[in-house]
Amino acid sequence: MPLVIPTARSTYGDSTTVPGSGHLSTYILAQLPDDANLSWVSEVRALCTVDELKWKAFQERRERLQAKNQIWNRILGSMRSATIVVIKPSDVEAAIREDWTTQGAEDGVDFNQRMLVDACATALIRDTPVAYLPNRLSEAMNLYPGSLFLEFDRFAPEQIKQRIGGKLRDAKVFAARAHATFDVVEQSTTTRSRYIGSSSPAASLVFRELLSTQRGFDEEHLPSVTVLNEAAEVMATALSDVLLLPGEISSQPLVREFSSRDIDAIQAADIAAGWAHEVVALGNERALGATFGKVLVNGRLMD
């Protein structure tokens, strides 16, 4: 579970779910960098008279906070540094249903809702940069060591799905965290895969940043943490001989879970996730870009 020490930066994330669609409900993860100005968190916590700042308490006092220009501007500034990851299984399920029916399959005869949900979970995982990771690494860095191919089965989407719990909810959490973990500054915004694509001069910069950025999430789903740290280990092992790293590889995990009560950045991420939830629930995802710095929908950067 390697991490390059000293770290380049850390990020912290928290999540929420938009209710209303059962298994296919939208999952939202917000992630903030450690250099965001979070001085407002303790002030708002005191104003709300709570031990831990949550979206509901913030929302109830939002109008009063907006009247305090200095603190409100700091809040808006930190929101602009946030990345919002939106996982919409309903879009994926609709695409799978259309594909199956186009091929002549009949709903209720050749497939049912359970099969659609299961295929949706696999597809969400397949569209993360962790799926088929050994192949992606080989292509990006022109590396073809046998050790990478021995890891292929471990990172096949179906294998990942079973290891994280097997359900659609597990896949949603994993997909959001995987996209957040691979959210780096040194990335291309012009290709379909922003993380690991065909070989390019930027690939080594991306991997260096990946391995030196520690990711922290609120306590929710340890199996996803395990798989993401295994992915980091595969990357570090494969790339240690060819990358000029900014520090030494340590045994500290790249991805960890923390109690949100202990970390202001996770409490700020909770506010960002709740805010994004409010916007998405109104049916206007594109409006997220007016408040937040970066928005990913099912892993794709929203213009």
Residue 164: predicted pLDDT = 98
Q: How many domains does the chain have?
A: 1
Residue 190: predicted pLDDT = 38
Mean pLDDT (the chain, rounded): 90
For the cut 70, the answer to whether the pLDDT of residue 198 exceeds it is no
Q: Contact 90/24 with Cβ under 8 angstroms?
A: yes
Residue 191: predicted pLDDT = 38
Q: pLDDT-derived band of residue 117, with 50, 70 and 90 as boundaries? A: very high
Kindly report the CA angle at 208 between 11 and 125, in degrees rounded to 5? 65
Percent of the chain with pLDDT over 70: 94
Residue 201: predicted pLDDT = 63
Residue 247: predicted pLDDT = 78
Residue 241: predicted pLDDT = 72
Complete DSSP assignment for 147-198 = HHHHTTGGGSHHHHHHHHTSSHHHHHHHHHHHHHHT--SS--SSSS-SSS-S
**Which structure tokens are listed for 134?**
């050994």
Residue 187: predicted pLDDT = 53
Alpha-carbon gap, residue 229 to 224, rounded angstroms? 9
Q: Estimate to the nearest angstrom the gap between the alpha carbon of 207 and the chain centroid.
A: 17
pLDDT digits (tens, 9 = 90+) for 1-28: 577 777 889 999 999 999 877 889 999 9
Find the mean pLDDT for residues 79-103: 97
Alpha-carbon gap, residue 161 to 229, rounded angstroms? 15
CA distances from 202 to 193, 198, 216, 265, 301 (A): 13, 10, 25, 29, 18
For the cut 90, the answer to whether the pLDDT of residue 147 exceeds it is no
Q: Which domain holds residue 274?
A: 3-301
Residue 297: predicted pLDDT = 96
Q: pLDDT-derived band of residue 273, with 50, 70 and 90 as boundaries? A: very high
Residue 152: predicted pLDDT = 81
Residue with more model confidence, 64 or 242: 64
Alpha-helical runs (H) found in the chain: 39-48, 55-60, 62-66, 69-80, 89-102, 113-126, 133-141, 146-150, 157-164, 168-181, 203-211, 222-239, 264-281
Residue with more model confidence, 243 or 44: 44
> 0.95 cut: is pTM over it?
no
Identify the weakest region by mean pLDDT among 72-81, 133-142, 145-154, 211-220.
145-154
Alpha-carbon gap, residue 237 to 249, rounded angstroms? 10
**Which structure tokens are listed for 227?**
């798989």
Find the mean pLDDT for residues 212-223: 96
Alpha-carbon gap, residue 232 to 255, rounded angstroms? 9
Residue with more model confidence, 209 or 176: 176
Percent of the chain with pLDDT over 90: 71
Q: pLDDT-derived band of residue 181, with 50, 70 and 90 as boundaries? A: very high
pLDDT digits (tens, 9 = 90+) for 73-87: 999 999 999 999 999
Residue 230: predicted pLDDT = 94
Alpha-carbon gap, residue 235 to 81, rounded angstroms? 27
